[in-house]
Amino acid sequence: MENKKYVYLFSEGDASMKNLLGGKGANLADMTSIGIPVPQGFTVTTEACNKYYDDNRTIAPEIVEQIHAKMAELENISGKKFGSLENPLLVSVRSGARASMPGMMDTILNLGLNDNTVEVMANKTGNPRFAYDSYRRFIQMFADVVMEVEKKHFEEIMDEMKEAKGVKLDTELDANDLKELVKKFKAFYKNAKGEEFPSDPKEQLIASITAVFRSWNNPRAIVYRRMNDIPGSWGTAVNVQEMVFGNKGETSGTGVAFSRNPSTGEKKIFAEYLMNAQGEDVVAGIRTPQPIEQLEKENAEVYKQFMDIVNTLENHYRDMQDMEFTIEEGKLYFLQTRNGKRTAQAALKIAVDLVEEGMLTKEEAILKVEPKQLDTLLHPNFDATDMKNAAVIAKGLPASPGAACGKVYFTAEESKVAHEKGEKVVLVRLETSPEDIEGMIASEGILTVRGGMTSHAAVVARGMGTCCVAGCGDIKVNEEAKTFEVGGVVYHEGDYISIDGSTGNVYAGQIKTVEPEISGYFGTFMAWADEIRSLKVRTNADTPRDTAQAVKYGAEGIGLCRTEHMFFEADRIMAIRQMIVAKDETSRRTALEKLLPMQRQDFIGIYEELVDRPATIRFLDPPLHEFLPHVDEEIKELAVELGITFEELKATVDSLHEFNPMMGHRGCRLAVSYPEIAEMQTRAVIEAAIDVKTRKGYDIVPEIMIPLVGEVKELKYVKDIVTRTADAIIAERGIELKYMVGTMIEIPRAALTADEIAKEAEFFSFGTNDLTQMTFGFSRDDAGNFLKHYYDKGIYESDPFQRLDQTGVGKLVEMSVKLGKQTREDIKLGICGEHGGDPSSVEFCHNIGLNYVSCSPFRVPVARLAAAQAEVKNPRK
């Protein structure tokens, strides 16, 4: 049997081999085949990387053998030889995964240098400064990346030398200085590692390839993968490429180029270069690069060739390209190309332009914009210049995107007061509860110590479009003292902090925020997405204001109206509390009578904003204790207001205490105990619909949703209350009004018995927050605390509360769809858990045939685009 092939020359690969060769490797092969001047080399495959991990982090001898064999072929191609004293070959070793992960993994340049080859290089080029500069860079990079001796030590040694010589710039060190520096570097290395710096290029090569494989699992790569939905099982390829030198003197140089402007999307080549430099100098910003237009003056011929190649590559890949190039003694090389990263504004403009230029179809263009990127168009961001000096003091979960800067306040009440005085506020809490709602509305941003992506703070902040960092365990809050401490520094009430809800970063002090600009390209692009998609997009909204916002962002209805959120408003909380402390049905009904007109008015407001888009109204869900205070002081105050004794109220609070409230007396269980609550809510929904229908003529079909059902009989029990109440009102008014009753599928038992449930439910809406919580058996509010250990250990790659666990929870959803349709062919299916706004979960919902997804207003455009992409990948129409 022939051995498996783990190593490919650039001339042996092609563009279709991205999974095996990585994006960079496949593109280098492709560029080679279309005649772009690419320094030649070979790619060690992603399969070799996976095998490295399977083999307990070692490269198997057969792969080592294949690497050496390809190296010999590369020697033939280049006419140079590894370690040769006549014509030494030097190479770069770089990572290249299937998806580009800029800056996440490691790179080594100038490999092949040692005390002998450096001299040959010096003599051959007549440029000893260049040779020793390359050598010291190599030692530095190899020590850092391969042997984990930090780069900063070498920088310190270099700084000492510059100081001793009285010079400022690296370029002011001459050949002898650099030779001396190399000696110092090697001595430091020997001291740190207890062995000589390796001089055998073959040994250097294998060690470097190993280091790149290892870097696939460095912490920043793991975090990047989690944020970008890249599976750890892909592995990275490694590219070994002949070095060309941009630091060979004044006819050499190096630079980066974008075929269009990556910030604005403008159709104009955007490139910068530095003469007499190597790649890292351009990126590091020590010297200021020149705009590419300058090259035309310096070398018109190379300039023309450069422009031609950039255009060729863009036309070939039919997308904006990000390229690295080097000019070695007047000869131009392209070292790599990839589809360029770009801002959201640029992404939209480029996608629309490419369609208008006839380069892409609308369907292809739709795939060019990352749905999550649209977030940045809808929220304020930090000013880029201000950000340069900002120091991250802590990191939490990126719970709700956007940027906020303000004074720290520790209670909702104080936040509200400060806001009314015109201050900008960042509310810092251990965690938020429904009582904090007004303080949350008054804040620019919310920072919590505890809680995950579906915690109260996260869900409510996303709904309001307010920036939120949740679960930031780095900070220690002292609510009494009104301070928090992080990294030995204590922050007081009134101190400024800035938080970034898109990254989870917390910064000390003030960073300017800038409002996003929405261009015409957004409208054009989103219209294409709507034309393409078949999956509908609704929103989770509880107020007319949020509804209006969501409609503006393209929501096609409400998929979840959490009615309890309405009860926390200052003018209602008393009525609901009266209902809770009521001793009997009669006094409970009296309290509910007070709530009825308010709740009806809320629904009228919502229906008016929706015009005739549908709305799913969910009945009361949280455990009742959430509406009551828990501190004696507050219980005392409330007792006075309610006209009962402290002891009485305290006894009620105690009686409502549950060890597991999320699995306790909540959801439809409340309506089973107190049917009058469901009656009042039905009345409010139906009367509001009749009111708006008769006044405005809108075609309203209320969808009433019963939460937390696990057994068809409990659904039937509550449904009977609903239909009895609704039918009586409709008959009494003598009006035509259709309505539907359905349920959430959020308890595993409901999923398992979905065929039964569908006998009573006209629609299912998957409540994947609770379904995830109960399927995994971990609390949606606390899991963040330990999930990070699971990411570090590679057990989970992403937060299942954020990205639907398709294998487990998804299986329950899929099963419910099948069972539900068996009973009721035309059953309406949607999702209203937080996953409804997550692109990969939206794709899953499309694939299993749901009718709609529902998400917070600001994520509606994200879901619209994700749904269109899902349609392009797997057409349903």
181 binds, among ligand PEP, Mg ion, none (CB under 5 to 8 A by kind): none
Measured on CA atoms in the order 780, 785, 788, 793, is the torsion positive or negative? negative
* Secondary structure of residue 837 in the 3-state scheme: helix
Query: What binding mask, one character per residue, do residues 26-65 give for ligand PEP by CB under 6 A, x or -?
Result: ----------------------------------------
Positions 718 through 747 that interact with ligand PEP (CB under 6 A): 746
Minimum distance between the CB of residue 772 and ligand PEP, rounded to whole angstroms? 8
Is the CB of residue 374 less than 8 Å from the CB of residue 842? no
Site for ligand PEP (CB under 6 A): how many residues? 10
Query: What binding mask, one character per residue, do residues 739-758 give for Mg ion by CB under 5 A, x or -?
Result: -------x------------
471 binds, among Mg ion, ligand PEP, none (CB under 5 to 8 A by kind): none
Task: Return the number of other C-beta atoms located less than 10 Å from residue 596's C-beta.
Answer: 16
Query: What binding mask, one character per residue, do residues 826-855 give for ligand PEP by CB under 6 A, x or -?
Result: ------xx----------------------
609 binds, among Mg ion, ligand PEP, none (CB under 5 to 8 A by kind): none
Cross-strand pairs, 43: 8, 239
Is the CB of residue 399 less than 8 Å from the CB of residue 503? no
Minimum distance between the CB of residue 831 and ligand PEP, rounded to whole angstroms? 8
Instruction: Tell which one of 371, 504, 710, 767 touches Mg ion (CB under 5 A).
Output: 767
Minimum distance between the CB of residue 562 and ligand PEP, rounded to whole angstroms? 5
Give the integer Cα–Cα distance in Å for 206 and 147: 13
Give the integer Cα–Cα distance in Å for 648 and 264: 64
Query: Helices 128-145 and 115-125: crossing angle, nearest 10°?
Result: 150
Nearer to Mg ion, 714 or 871 (CB): 714
> Is residue 805 part of the contact set for ligand PEP (CB under 6 A)?
no
Catalytic residues: 456, 832
Nearer to Mg ion, 344 or 668 (CB): 668
Q: Where are the alpha helices (DSSP H) in 262-397?
A: 279-284, 293-298, 300-317, 344-356, 362-366, 375-378, 384-388
> Is residue 781 part of the contact set for Mg ion (CB under 5 A)?
no
What are the tokens at 393? 């003091």
Measured on CA atoms in the order 617, 618, 619, 621, is the torsion positive or negative? negative
Nearer to ligand PEP, 419 or 450 (CB): 450
Instruction: Tell which one of 215, 400, 616, 769 touches ligand PEP (CB under 6 A).
Output: 769
Minimum distance between the CB of residue 702 and Mg ion, rounded to whole angstroms? 20
Positions 521 through 560 that interact with ligand PEP (CB under 6 A): 560
Task: Return the number of other C-beta atoms located less than 10 Å from residue 729's C-beta.
Answer: 17
Among 287, 282, 331, residue whose Cα is nearest residue 306: 331
Give the integer Cα–Cα distance in Å for 849 and 861: 20
Positions 593 through 632 that interact with ligand PEP (CB under 6 A): 621
Instruction: Give the interface segment with ligand PEP, choosing from 66-74, 132-140, 191-199, 766-774 (CB under 6 A).
Output: 766-774
Instruction: Tell which one of 319, 328, 436, 770 touches Mg ion (CB under 5 A).
Output: 770
Nearer to ligand PEP, 111 or 832 (CB): 832
Instruction: Tell which one of 214, 416, 562, 565 touches ligand PEP (CB under 6 A).
Output: 562
> Is residue 768 part of the contact set for ligand PEP (CB under 6 A)?
yes
Give the integer Cα–Cα distance in Å for 91 and 117: 13
Instruction: Give the interface segment with ligand PEP, choosing from 299-307, 507-515, 636-644, 762-770 (CB under 6 A).
Output: 762-770
Residue 526, sorted as left (phi over 0), alpha (psi -120 to 50) or beta, turns out to be alpha
Instruction: Give the interface segment with ligand PEP, choosing from 133-141, 207-215, 713-721, 768-776 (CB under 6 A).
Output: 768-776
DSSP for 606-651, please give it. HHHHHTT--EEEE---S-GGGGS--SHHHHHHHHHHHTS-HHHHHH
Give the integer Cα–Cα distance in Å for 543 and 535: 24
Minimum distance between the CB of residue 558 and Mg ion, rounded to whole angstroms? 16
Distances (CA, A) of 396 to 280, 448, 471, 489, 562: 31, 8, 5, 18, 27
Give the integer Cα–Cα distance in Å for 340 and 874: 25
832 binds, among ligand PEP, Mg ion, none (CB under 5 to 8 A by kind): ligand PEP
309 binds, among Mg ion, ligand PEP, none (CB under 5 to 8 A by kind): none
| Interface residues toward ligand PEP, by CB under 6 A | 560, 562, 621, 746, 767-770, 832-833
| Interface residues toward Mg ion, by CB under 5 A | 746, 767, 770
